[in-house]
């Protein structure tokens, strides 16, 4: 596999992309952690409905508007980076996620076609656009809630960045090569159904990032609270069983790499945030 990737780089990619690839193959530094100040998780709920009843849910107009305003500043170049509606003076990269994206591009002759499930209004796209612009082509498909997809289409969509309200609608226009789930699976009622749907699409690479785990044998369901300094909200959030998560995905996916995610919580939460780069088993065995 290593030989094939090396040959693919030489045959199909421009020199500047080869330089980017070499940088990404250097030993990864320990990422600077993002402490989510005053955000906390509480409870141990028996059902999604119970957690939802004790929270505000995700459909707040205020959250969407604040995220839109922040990302419009990123898009125009007025600020460097946005995450969870908060703006930063410099981009905080998830280097393993970026390496996974570039690896997918290498395997597909320099073309990057992404399905970004729950990708907001383009947070991860704008985070990595400086590197992605060296690909032969880029198509970044974001699948989001209908109200988010509508705002995305109106304010952010262009020849590279596209928005859809369902996975099926996305695939109806373009079949992606790589799927990413960045800080989203924990907020979905049935996250493993989403992962199964992504597998059935036939994507070669799956990248999971910014996802909370614990060492227990069962998944835990909490409510995450966000302070008004960011946006005042609360919503259900899973903390996945690390062993169970890997066991359930092992039938369809091979873990190529796993890494520590950027997030930590300041309060005493029995959880750690991880990310994974995975390939389809059928692909790895061929």
With a cut of 60, say whether residue 35 has pLDDT above it.
no
Quick: pLDDT tens for 37-58.
467 888 899 999 999 999 987 6
Distance CA(106)–CA(219), nearest Å, equals 35
What architecture is the 2-284 domain classified under in CATH?
3-Layer(aba) Sandwich (3.40)
Q: What is the pLDDT at residue 258?
A: 97
Residue 268: pLDDT band by 50, 70, 90 thresholds?
A: low
Q: Read off the pTM.
A: 0.85
**Secondary structure E strands in the chain:** 34-35, 40-42, 81-83, 86-88, 111-117, 137-143, 161-164, 178-182, 205-214, 220-226, 233-241, 253-260, 263-264, 272-280
Query: Are the C-beta atoms of residues 79 and 70 closer than 8 Å to each other?
Result: yes
Quick: pLDDT tens for 80-95.
999 888 999 999 999 9
CB atoms within 10 A of CB 47: 11
Nearest residue to 160 (alpha-carbon basis) of 182, 178, 135, 137? 137
């Amino acid at each position: 596999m290593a030989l094939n990737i090396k040959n693919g780089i030489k045959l199909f990619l421009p020199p500047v992309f080869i330089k980017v690839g070499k940088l990404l193959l250097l030993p990864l530094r320990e990422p600077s952690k993002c402490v989510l100040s005053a955000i906390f998780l509480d409870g141990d709920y028996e059902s999604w409905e119970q957690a939802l009843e004790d929270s505000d849910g995700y459909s707040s107009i205020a959250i969407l508007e604040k995220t839109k305003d922040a990302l419009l500043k990123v898009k125009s170049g007025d600020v460097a980076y946005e995450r969870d509606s908060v703006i930063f003076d410099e981009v905080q990269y998830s280097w393993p996620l970026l390496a996974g994206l570039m690896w997918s591009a290498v395997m597909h002759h320099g073309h990057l076609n992404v399905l970004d499930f729950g990708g907001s209004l383009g947070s991860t796209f704008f985070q990595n656009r400086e590197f992605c612009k060296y690909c032969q082509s880029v198509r970044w498909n974001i699948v989001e809630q209908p109200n988010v997809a509508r705002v995305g289409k109106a304010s952010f969509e262009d020849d590279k960045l596209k928005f859809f309200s369902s996975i099926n609608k996305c695939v109806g226009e373009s079949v992606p090569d790589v799927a990413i789930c960045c800080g989203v699976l924990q907020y979905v009622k049935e996250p493993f159904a989403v992962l199964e749907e992504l597998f059935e699409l036939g994507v070669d690479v799956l990248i999971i990032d910014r996802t909370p785990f614990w060492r227990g044998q069962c998944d835990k369901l909490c409510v995450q609270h966000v302070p008004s300094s960011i946006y005042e909200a609360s919503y259900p959030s899973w903390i996945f069983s690390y062993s169970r998560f890997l066991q359930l995905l092992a039938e369809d996916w091979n873990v190529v790499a796993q890494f520590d995610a950027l997030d930590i919580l300041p309060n005493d939460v029995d959880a750690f945030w991880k990310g994974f780069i995975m390939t389809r088993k059928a692909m790895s065995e061929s």
